[in-house]
Amino acid sequence: MKKTILLLLAALLMSATTVTRADEEHAYSEGPVLTVSFVRTEPGMFDEYMRYLSKTYKHVMEEYKKQGIIVDYAIYQARPRDAQDADVILTVTYRNMAALDNLQARTDPVIREVFGSLSQAASSSADRGKLRKDVGSQVVRQLILK
């Protein structure tokens, strides 16, 4: 009888421990990280900005993917709610938060290859200011429910 009671108590303790561990686990796991950039094209410059994205931007992003710097990228058109809202949203997906460490050191060689130098890339960026303005950006992480 004592043996049965001890076994029953041991089983109860083990199940209580299992429930406690399950309660302490998160209901999700951390997934990929995205940078989300909100852009407002200048009046009449939407198509010109899309041409830039389809050539230079796409070339840079595809090279980043090829080198494993990024997982993916996407471009979205948005319907602005007001004159200050974005009409283009750019996303870049990284495997995880650690992929952002030393990012500049890994991306600079691609930028030099595409633009010729970092100063030419900066100048090109200033020229794009005629086509659009940055409205803001965010870094977000996908949470994958278990």
Determine the distance from the C-alpha atom of residue 81 to the mean position of all C-alpha atoms in its chain, rounded to a whole number.
Answer: 24
Structure-token pair, residue 117 = 């130098």
CB 102, CB 109: distance < 8 Å: no
The model's pTM is: 0.80
Domain, as residue range, for 118: 28-145
Domains identified in the chain, total number: 1
Q: Does residue 5 form part of some domain? A: no
Please calculate the CA angle 118-76-70 and round it to the nearest 5 degrees.
45
Instruction: Establish if 2 belongs to a structural domain.
Output: no
Per-residue pLDDT of the chain in tens (146 residues, 90 and over written 9):
666 665 666 676 676 555 556 568 999 999 999 999 999 999 999 999 999 999 999 999 999 999 999 999 999 999 999 989 999 999 999 999 999 999 999 999 999 999 999 999 998 888 899 999 999 999 999 999 99
Residue 1 lies in a domain: no
Q: Would you say residue 16 lies in a domain?
A: no
Q: Is residue 4 part of a domain?
A: no
What single string gives the DSSP state of each residue in 43-79? TT-HHHHHHHIIIIIHHHHHHHHHTTS-SEEEEEE--
Q: What is the CATH number of the domain that holds 65?
A: 3.30.70.100
